[in-house]
Amino acid sequence: MTVTLCGWRGWLGRFTLLLLLCHSVTYARKRKMRLEAEDEEEETNIRLPPTLRPVHYTVRLHPLLHGNHTIIGRLEVELEVLKATSRVVFHLVDIDVVEESVRVTLISKRRTLPVKRQRYDPEYQQYTVHLRRRLRQGNIYLLSLHFQSMLGNATKGFFVTTYKDKEGNERKVAATQFWPADARRAFPCFDEPEMKATFDLYLAREANMTAISNMPLVRTTPM
């Protein structure tokens, strides 16, 4: 197996990447009620709250193209806090987040904030991590999590398709199609046009496969 890293700059929705062959805190009752009331009133919006801005993503994907088509993924996103909040809200579709892997860490102090609960809203395709503490304005936090999904069969998100090689043999290809709002099918992300960020993308593949990206290769490492 081999891991390929590509630098990937720009809003993820604009790009098509081709991958060929490839805790306990006691709260005063009132304070708790107030926080919960805040949570509820903010929760029903099709737009992501304008409280956080993704700065840089590190996405690791291992699609089992010659196996059961599972995608094993890991996400790390650096987030700048534009307005204090106790919720981290992002998009995903048909992705299972490993709940116990979810961490929100204050990068400068390497301090991890306790998670209160996590919830998925299928209508708005939003995943919300509720924290027991507020993220402070101006600080940078790291959201990290493990996830699993499946390569899709339709041409959206991260999907599998086939082609014929020179000898006429059918070969499998895993490819991505993110426009207009399908990046959220490939990995959890803040999938809105104004939430532009930079990316490092790692792709694990079998040694006999090739990875092709529309951004330069940084390195390939056998493992």
Ligand X SMILES: *[C@@H]1O[C@H](CO)[C@@H](O)[C@H](O)[C@H]1NC(C)=O
Interface region with ligand X, contact rule CB under 6 A, candidates 5-13, 22-30, 61-69, 194-202: 61-69
Calculate the CA 200 to chain-centre distance. 12
67 binds ligand X (CB under 6 A): yes
Residue type, 192: E
Which residue in the set 23, 29, 46, 68 belongs to the binding site for ligand X (CB under 6 A)? 68
Residues 164-223 that bind ligand X (CB under 6 A): 171, 206, 208
Between CA 183 and CA 190 the distance in angstroms is: 9
Size of the site for ligand X (CB under 6 A): 11
Q: What is the H or E stretch that residue 222 is in?
A: strand 217-222
Smallest separation, CB 96 to ligand X (Å): 9
Structure tokens at 187: 């990995």
Which residue in the set 3, 20, 64, 215 belongs to the binding site for ligand X (CB under 6 A)? 64
Residues 104-163 that bind ligand X (CB under 6 A): 150, 152-153
Between CA 151 and CA 10 the distance in angstroms is: 24
**Tally of CB atoms within 10 A around 126:** 22
| Binding residues for ligand X (CB under 6 A) | 64, 66-68, 70, 150, 152-153, 171, 206, 208
